[in-house]
Amino acid sequence: MEFEKNILSIGAGYVGGPTMSVIARQCPEYRVELVDIDHEKIARWNSDDLPIYEPGLAEIVQSIRGRNLFFSTDIGAAIDRADIIFVSVNTPTKTYGYGAGMASDLQYWEQTAHTIVQHSRGDKIIVEKSTLPVRTAEAMERILSANDKGLRFEVVSNPEFLAEGSAINDLMKADRVLIGHHQSKTGRKAAREIVDIYRHWLPARRIITTNVWSSELSKLIANAFLAQRISSINATAQICERSDADVQEVARAIGTDRRIGPRFLNASVGFGGSCFKKDILNLVYIARSFGLEEVADYWNMVVRLNEAQKARFVRKMVSAMFNTVAGKKIALLGFAFKAHTGDTRESPAIDIARQLLEERAVLAISDPRALDNARRDLEGIPGKVEFQPDPYRAADGASALAILTEWPEYRDLDYSRIYRRMNKPAFVFDGRNILNHPVLFKLGFNVYPLGKKGLSHFR
Ligand code: NAD
Ligand code: UGA
């Protein structure tokens, strides 16, 4: 079959995979391909055991794989074939040299630019899909245009706003798609081609075009604003715990103000995920490199507060359990950084587990999807840890339960059965405020929600 266009994603991870699958399904006249240097990952994309879990993703992949959606490790041939290349590789925090612990590590990014030049025999549109520091397109263009084949590459920025666990829905019903382009004839033409893709399923008013730098920066700022809301509500939760105010009541009271809005106001053990922390640290680094110290400090506080939130949760547990958890079994319910994903990158559960192990607690960790990752995350950390898919067995003989991920199934567990089989006095620490606290208290638990008064049977 002849396809109208060849679209390629370099990088077949959490962003490349779902994004390209949706584009392929919505644009059957385009041939969509994903390549990756990770051969095992590509083999899994070509199997029934996909490398990532997202509701609805497997159904899409199964229905169009081999028709207009392809996964391959032959990066050179795929580049040569492609008219439009989305670069969706990882851009983690740098761990070495200048900017270590803050700046983006752009080595994977730069490597793709060289690979594109090496294998191209025609002009192409290159789309920045990964999240990048503002003005990265300039560096990309310098590498791409330093070719002696007379080739022209037009770089467009199209950052991704999907959230894990709802990726397909977020892509299908995107609040907006952002396309940053150069204000030249070729820049506008390239942007139109990208707009055409999304117009297959999104109305024109949802597609925003800007200059390249606004687009790059907007992605970092969107994540910084979202994370800042969580740190703001978590800071509020701390005040609530000292003042007998209730953080959920406060969230409802302020969220009804349309200027503030109700979403992203759930107090928690802290935000996790692969991006919030790395993107804010990157923003902090950029601000410092511009000499904007107060701006850098401002955003840095969002991350500091998040670190403190995790530590405070552990301190609260230890202090409630008579200042020692040594030798006590504690069941951690949830390890993923949020519900509906098996991803544990930067999950608050990792730090909480580590700190509890330092206190010599004995951990039983349960999660419907993240146990393999949990095992890897805690490898090498001294202490006793059991990984238990069944939450009831995890709680057996435990002195405390801690809810670390808001999996809906944790709401509906049989807590009277759990209580009967726990060590007494039994404690619940609800790090996501998803349980019915008065009911648990009546069953006999000492209950410690977040940002509201604890319910304790002790005098
Ligand atoms: P990921 O680690 O899941 O996937 C990236 C993939 O790129 C990996 O499979 C890796 O093997 C591959 N890769 C690296 N270098 C390569 C190369 N030279 N050639 C071919 N493949 C290469 O990462 P991700 O979560 O998909 O994130 C990718 C980018 O998108 C990051 O910049 C991230 O900040 C951004 N982003 C992520 C999310 C999210 O929810 N995860 C959402 C929006 C934006
Ligand atoms: C986030 C953004 O929501 C996406 O728009 C963005 O594309 C993505 O980062 C990215 O750039 O990687 P994601 O990290 O997948 O998506 O998940 P979120 O739903 O934003 O949750 C992030 C963390 O904040 C989770 O740990 C979650 O539990 C926590 N959270 C969220 C709260 O603690 N309280 C809330 O009210 C909301």
Do 305 and 437 sit in the same domain of this protein?
yes
- Are the CB atoms for 127 and 89 separated by under 8 Å? no
Atom of ligand 2 nearest to the CA of 219: 11
Residue 212 lies in a domain: no
Protein residue whose Cα sits closest to atom 29 of ligand 2: 271
Atom of ligand 2 nearest to the CA of 166: 15
- Are the CB atoms for 283 and 225 separated by under 8 Å? no
Protein residue whose Cα sits closest to atom 37 of ligand 2: 264
Residue 270 lies in a domain: yes
Could you tell me how many residues make up the chain? 459
The model's pLDDT over 127-169, given as tens digits with 9 standing for 90+, comes to 999 999 888 889 899 999 998 899 999 999 999 999 999 999 9
Q: Which ligand is nearest to the CA of 9?
A: 1
Of 142, 174, 202, the domain-final residue: 202
Do 134 and 44 sit in the same domain of this protein?
yes
Do 54 and 182 sit in the same domain of this protein?
yes
**pLDDT at residue 79 in the model:** 98
Rounded Cα distance between 148 and 162, Å, is 38
Do 224 and 282 sit in the same domain of this protein?
yes
Protein residue whose Cα sits closest to atom 34 of ligand 1: 131
Protein residue whose Cα sits closest to atom 1 of ligand 1: 13
Do 169 and 290 sit in the same domain of this protein?
no
**Considering just the CA atoms, what is the radius of gyration of the chain in Å?**
24
CATH at residue 37: 3.40.50.720
Protein residue whose Cα sits closest to atom 4 of ligand 1: 13
- Are the CB atoms for 440 and 454 separated by under 8 Å? no
Rounded Cα distance between 291 and 227, Å, is 23
Question: Which domain, by its residues, includes 140?
Answer: 5-202
Atom of ligand 1 nearest to the CA of 14: 26
- Are the CB atoms for 288 and 281 separated by under 8 Å? no
Atom of ligand 2 nearest to the CA of 273: 14
Compute, in angstroms, the gap from residue 130 CA to the centroid of ligand 1. Answer: 7
Of 176, 202, 228, the domain-final residue: 202
What strand order describes the sheet that includes 329-333? 385-387, 362-366, 329-333, 400-403, 427-430, 446-448
Residue 207 lies in a domain: no
Q: Which residue has the tokens 């700022």?
A: 221
**pLDDT at residue 1 in the model:** 72
Compute, in angstroms, the gap from residue 443 CA to the centroid of ligand 1. Answer: 46
Atom of ligand 2 nearest to the CA of 405: 28
**pLDDT at residue 147 in the model:** 87
Protein residue whose Cα sits closest to atom 13 of ligand 2: 163
Compute, in angstroms, the gap from residue 306 CA to the centroid of ligand 1. Answer: 24
Compute, in angstroms, the gap from residue 2 CA to the centroid of ligand 1. Answer: 30
Compute, in angstroms, the gap from residue 410 CA to the centroid of ligand 2. Answer: 20
| The pair of three-digit structure tokens given for residue 246, joined into one six-digit string | 């209730």
Q: What are phi and psi of 210, to 5 degrees?
A: -145, -175
Do 229 and 289 sit in the same domain of this protein?
yes
Do 310 and 378 sit in the same domain of this protein?
yes
Do 169 and 252 sit in the same domain of this protein?
no
Rounded Cα distance between 365 and 351, Å, is 13
Compute, in angstroms, the gap from residue 317 CA to the centroid of ligand 2. Answer: 25
Residue 214 lies in a domain: no
**pLDDT at residue 335 in the model:** 98
Our mutation pick for probing the ligand 2 site, out of 276, 350, 404, counting the most ligand atoms within 8 A of Cβ, is: 276
Give whole-number Cα distances, 233 to 1, 201, 302, 436, 438, in Å: 54, 35, 11, 20, 23
Do 258 and 407 sit in the same domain of this protein?
yes
Of 156, 173, 202, the domain-final residue: 202
| The pair of three-digit structure tokens given for residue 333, joined into one six-digit string | 């319910």
Catalytic residue IDs = 275
Do 171 and 258 sit in the same domain of this protein?
no
Rounded Cα distance between 37 and 121, Å, is 21
- Are the CB atoms for 276 and 307 separated by under 8 Å? no
Residue 87 lies in a domain: yes
Compute, in angstroms, the gap from residue 426 CA to the centroid of ligand 2. Answer: 31
Do 128 and 160 sit in the same domain of this protein?
yes
Residue ranges lining ligand 2, Cβ < 6 Å: 131, 160-164, 223, 226, 230, 264-266, 268, 271-276, 337-338
Which residues of the chain carry a pLDDT beneath 50? Answer: none
Residue 208 lies in a domain: no
Do 184 and 250 sit in the same domain of this protein?
no
Compute, in angstroms, the gap from residue 423 CA to the centroid of ligand 2. Answer: 35
Protein residue whose Cα sits closest to atom 31 of ligand 2: 264
Residue 151 lies in a domain: yes
Residue ranges lining ligand 1, Cβ < 6 Å: 10-16, 35-38, 41, 88-91, 108, 111-112, 130-131, 160, 162, 164, 274-275
Total tally of structural domains belonging to the chain:
2
Residue 252 lies in a domain: yes
Query: Which DSSP string do the residues of 232-280 spell out, in sequence order?
Result: HHHHHHHHHHHHT--HHHHHHHHHTSTTT-SSS----S---SSSHHHHH
Atom of ligand 2 nearest to the CA of 164: 15
Protein residue whose Cα sits closest to atom 37 of ligand 1: 15
